[in-house]
A and B are shown apart, each in its own frame.
Chain A
Amino acid sequence: MALSATVSHAQMLINGAGATFPQVIYTKWFDEYQKVDPSVRFNYQGIGSGGGQKQILAETVDFGASDGPMSDENLAKAPRALWHIPTVAGAVVVSYNLEGDPQVRLDGPTLAGIFLGTITKWNDPAIAGQNPDVKLPDEDIVVVHRSDGSGTSFIFTDYLSSVSPDWKAKVGKGVSVSWPVGLGGKGNAGVAGQVKQTPGAIGYVELAYAHQNKLPVAEMKNSSGIYMSPTLDSVTAALAAATIPDDFRFSMVNSPGATAYPIAGTTWLLVYAEQKDHAKGEKLVQFLRWAYSDGEKLAPSLDYAPLPDNVLKRALDRVNSIKY
């Protein structure tokens, strides 16, 4: 009682909520930052990007977090300027269940064809043509996608929209979409579970999840025509080559750059340009400066891709212009 009283008396509490994808690294950051500045404590709830956007708009949290950029419509609801600041990036990988776990290579239009249901067999010429060394079975492809709304689906459908006009017209991009074919699995674990259980299945999961669970992943053809396997380096390379507008609401799928992995995306913090509470605003900015220096170094060990130097500098400039 006495202990908790002294702790809470000395500590300032900063609340945040939103995206689940970066929750692991945010939690790590807050833990580490506790050692740097014991006078502030961060509380982050991974309630989903939708919840994060709602809460920061309602100002019930001090910062929000989202795996997809806010829509113009939602951003217009903000009481004053609300900024997107990218923190780390991740990739979405394509995993599959084929006898003997061969290394499969795919390009964007083929992947879109599979998820549109126009390519239904593993030995379809579109797939076989890219994989001359792999003996592909005459087996039905079972498509598995996320059933829950997620940033992973957003990045994946954003990519398919950017490489396939057909996909863009028929399905589009979003955290949830109307899938033309396939089964829905809940979470990375649900998709991976169904892919693992179903012969001939193909699905998509977060890079970190695939890496930690050692799933077979496809090499994807990037916009320079090179097949890249998803790694933290190829994600950071994608981000470095992406065109990033001033408001940071950007998409980095199918990024140019010879070493870029094409299905990648970033995640954002949502902070008000002018902080209402001077003391909290100051602590938040101090924390963000730390996050963009020491914090980013923690990213690779947790399977997140750190920001490349050019983006990092711009993000830090934005942090430094937060008023409090």
Chain B
Amino acid sequence: MSTASTTHVVPAPGSRSPDIAFKWVAAFAAAMIVILIVFVGLELYWGSRLAIAKFGVGFLWSTEWDPVQEKFGALPFIFGTLLSSLLALLIAVPLGVATALFLTELAPLRIRQPIVMAIEMLAAVPSVIFGLWGIFVLIPWLRDHLFVWLKHWLGFLPLFKGPIYGTSMLAAGIIVAIMILPIITSISREILRSVPNLQREAAYALGATRWEVLRIAVLSYARRGLFGAAVLGLGRALGETMAVTMVIGNRPEIAASLFAPGYTLASVVANEFAEATTDIYFNSLFELGLVLLVVAILVNAAAQVMLKSMTGSGPIKVV
């Protein structure tokens, strides 16, 4: 009984084709990401096969990196990558979440937008600029002030022993922390904004103070999402290259002290790839790339497992 005038409300035969087309385009885009990762992995494996054949799994825990003797091992670089990223997270997550809390819960409305813009501008600064700033501004300050202070008060810990050069694992952690702060803050802010007001109101209704509201109603509700923000930050920290190379000291060594120089997987590849002339050297650098990919996948997988085991009903927007 429908009239001709309503036909464009009821789908005409064949009008589902845009839907289907879109579905396939979207599926193709998603598949491309997976295919890309697989191809990157295969290419890295292929490029490193000589090193894999020569050094076997021992490559993973050998601490030697000697291009002259052609003895290669990845452990100092794996250590440096994980430690510098961990330091970055330890600094950036509390700062980022606190900033996000301030921006969503506490700050007067008119200053929120300027702060958000400032944080987003931080994300637009190129890596190499952070590195240069690190060498010329941050490192001298760390060497003459913060590190001296840390050594004075916490020097009994192995973490803060040894000579202070400035360029160090800790400097790398601080630089990376600054670089991942924008992403952690932005995502945390989105997560916190998506906490329903009902949560807060319910807590207030129970007589909670403002701090209790934040802790019980907001943070604990949003913890899974915030964890996801940290994981995204970690992903960036693991692969950060340029700025880290400029401040970490580039020494393949496993030292207890955070004042000692270190080295990361991404940095050594960036440093030595262009001049690697022998096959086994070239292959070993490729294998470091493969190790970095695997480390990143494992860390993310571990994060997923931890996330699953976390309680909390809040949004898990990003993971």
Contact check, A186 vs B274: say whether CB atoms are below 8 A apart: no
CA distance A51 to B275 in the complex (A): 7
Interface residues of B in 248-282 (CB under 8 A from A): 249-252, 261, 263, 267, 270-278, 282
Min distance, Cβ B143 to any Cβ of chain A, angstroms = 8
Task: Choose among A48, A70, A71 the residue that contacts B275 (Cβ–Cβ < 8 A).
Answer: A48
Task: Choose among A73, A186, A198 the residue that contacts B165 (Cβ–Cβ < 8 A).
Answer: A198
Min distance, Cβ A92 to any Cβ of chain B, angstroms = 15
Contact check, A186 vs B277: say whether CB atoms are below 8 A apart: no
Contact check, B67 vs A147: say whether CB atoms are below 8 A apart: no
Contact check, B166 vs A197: say whether CB atoms are below 8 A apart: yes
CA distance A190 to B217 in the complex (A): 49
Please classify the interface of chain B as helix (H, G, I), strand (E, B), loop, or mixed, using the class held by over half of its residues. loop
Residues of chain B lying within 8 A (CB to CB) of residue A87: none
Known: A140-B163, A174-B68, A194-B135. A150 touches B250 (CB 8 A): no
A175 at the B interface (CB under 8 A)? yes
Contact check, A197 vs B135: say whether CB atoms are below 8 A apart: yes
CA distance A70 to B277 in the complex (A): 8
CA distance A70 to B275 in the complex (A): 12
What is the total number of residues of chain A having a CB less than 8 Å from a CB of chain B? 38
Contact check, A149 vs B66: say whether CB atoms are below 8 A apart: no
A22 at the B interface (CB under 8 A)? no
Interface size of B as a range = 20 to 34
Contact check, B271 vs A178: say whether CB atoms are below 8 A apart: no
Task: Choose among B67, B135, B270, B277 the residue that contacts A177 (Cβ–Cβ < 8 A).
Answer: B67
Known: A174-B67, A183-B251, A197-B140. A149 touches B275 (CB 8 A): yes
Known: A148-B274, A149-B271. A183 touches B250 (CB 8 A): yes
Residues of chain B lying within 8 A (CB to CB) of residue A173: 68
Known: A50-B275, A74-B278. A172 touches B68 (CB 8 A): yes
CA distance A324 to B139 in the complex (A): 56
Task: Choose among A142, A151, A184 the residue that contacts B250 (Cβ–Cβ < 8 A).
Answer: A184
Residues of chain B lying within 8 A (CB to CB) of residue A186: 245-246, 250, 271
Min distance, Cβ A300 to any Cβ of chain B, angstroms = 27
B185 at the A interface (CB under 8 A)? no
Min distance, Cβ B144 to any Cβ of chain A, angstroms = 10
Contact check, A178 vs B68: say whether CB atoms are below 8 A apart: yes
Min distance, Cβ A167 to any Cβ of chain B, angstroms = 11
Residues of chain B lying within 8 A (CB to CB) of residue A171: 68
Residue of B nearest to A46 (CB): B274
Min distance, Cβ B263 to any Cβ of chain A, angstroms = 8
CA distance A20 to B250 in the complex (A): 21
B209 at the A interface (CB under 8 A)? no
Contact check, A190 vs B165: say whether CB atoms are below 8 A apart: no
Contact check, B165 vs A142: say whether CB atoms are below 8 A apart: yes
Task: Choose among A147, A174, A197 the residue that contacts B136 (Cβ–Cβ < 8 A).
Answer: A197
Binary contact readout A11-52 vs B (1 if CB under 8 angstroms, 0 otherwise):
000000000100000000000000000000000000111110
Contact check, A178 vs B165: say whether CB atoms are below 8 A apart: no
CA distance A68 to B67 in the complex (A): 15
A131 at the B interface (CB under 8 A)? no
Contact check, A190 vs B135: say whether CB atoms are below 8 A apart: yes
Task: Choose among B246, B250, B278 the residue that contacts A71 (Cβ–Cβ < 8 A).
Answer: B278
Known: A186-B245, A190-B135. A148 touches B165 (CB 8 A): no
CA distance A211 to B14 in the complex (A): 74
Contact check, A184 vs B272: say whether CB atoms are below 8 A apart: no
Residues of chain B lying within 8 A (CB to CB) of residue A151: 275
Residue of B nearest to A174 (CB): B68
Contact check, A193 vs B136: say whether CB atoms are below 8 A apart: yes
Binary contact readout A124-151 vs B (1 if CB under 8 angstroms, 0 otherwise):
0000000000000000101000011111
Residue of B nearest to A181 (CB): B251
A179 at the B interface (CB under 8 A)? yes
Among B69, B246, B272, B274: residue with most chain A CB under 10 A: B274
Task: Choose among A50, A73, A148 the residue that contacts B282 (Cβ–Cβ < 8 A).
Answer: A50
10 cross-chain CB contacts under 8 A: A49-B275, A148-B270, A148-B271, A175-B275, A177-B66, A183-B165, A183-B251, A186-B245, A193-B135, A194-B135
B residues in contact (CB < 8 Å) with A: 64-69, 135-136, 139-140, 143, 163, 165-167, 245-246, 249-252, 261, 263, 267, 270-278, 282
Nearest 4 pairs of A and B residues by beta carbon: A149-B275, A184-B250, A48-B274, A147-B250
